[in-house]
Amino acid sequence: MRSYIEQRARLARMEAARAETERHLAIVERQIASRAERMTVTSQAKYRQSRHRRSNSMWTSTDERIFQEDLAAIRFERRGEIDALSRKLARQTGAIAALRVRHRINEPEREAVS
């Protein structure tokens, strides 16, 4: 049987792994949004060059529509990676919850210290 300290250490490692997965998923989402924005700005810059209007640099509803289309297309391309990370995150969350129930550890260590 494991001691309480070993159980807490295992839980801390599991929570750290889950946090790393969350960070990775957030990075992927930021990369997707940044790429979609670059694609939108580039396509609209080419269009606007033909009109020679410098003052027309505001983000328009057309820009937003194009951005959302690009965003959806890139998310679709990377859906395998996003789905895998989401499933991993769900498994990690379930494992942490099961460990907490099994060993009757109700709160994270940092909240218990308060």
Write the pLDDT tens digit of every residue in 18-72: 999 999 999 999 999 999 999 998 887 666 655 555 555 578 888 899 999 999 9
Distances (CA, A) of 77 to 38, 74, 111: 16, 5, 40
DSSP 3: -
Please report the pLDDT score of residue 114 as a whole number: 39
The letter for the amino acid at 83 is D
Q: Calculate Rg over the CA atoms of the chain.
A: 22
Please report the pLDDT score of residue 58 as a whole number: 74
Number of Cβ within 10 Å of residue 102's Cβ equals 9
CA angle 98, 99, 102 (to 5 degrees): 85
Mean pLDDT calculated for residue range 88-104: 94
Please tell me the least confidently modeled range out of 4-8, 73-77, 97-101: 4-8
